[in-house]
Amino acid sequence: MTLNELINIKYIIASVLYSVIGIVILLVAFWIIEKTTPENLYKEILEKHNVALAIVCAAFMIAVAIIISSAIHG
């Protein structure tokens, strides 16, 4: 087995492309959540130190990331 067979550039490019698409989808989903909630999430988390909201946002990001990764990898 040669090095060329082990490392195929099209798989690397596909992985990078899918990663970028996944990050964009995650940011769009977070932006939609930001716009639909009554309070500014950034202000609530950083200025008012709302830990519960920070945990909910983290759980949302993890959930969307799992959905995106399973959609990409099949």
Q: In this model, does residue 21 exceed pLDDT 80?
A: yes
| Number of structural domains found in the chain | 1
The first and second tokens of residue 72, run together, are 């990409």
Q: Quote the CA–CA distance of 17 and 73 in Å, as a whole number.
A: 13
The DSSP-derived string for 21-64 is: HHHHHHHHHHHHHHHHSSS-HHIIIIIS--HHHHHHHHHHHHHH
pLDDT at 48 > cutoff 80: yes
What pLDDT shows up at residue 1? 58
pLDDT at 55: 93
**Could you tell me the residue range of the domain that residue 53 belongs to?**
3-73
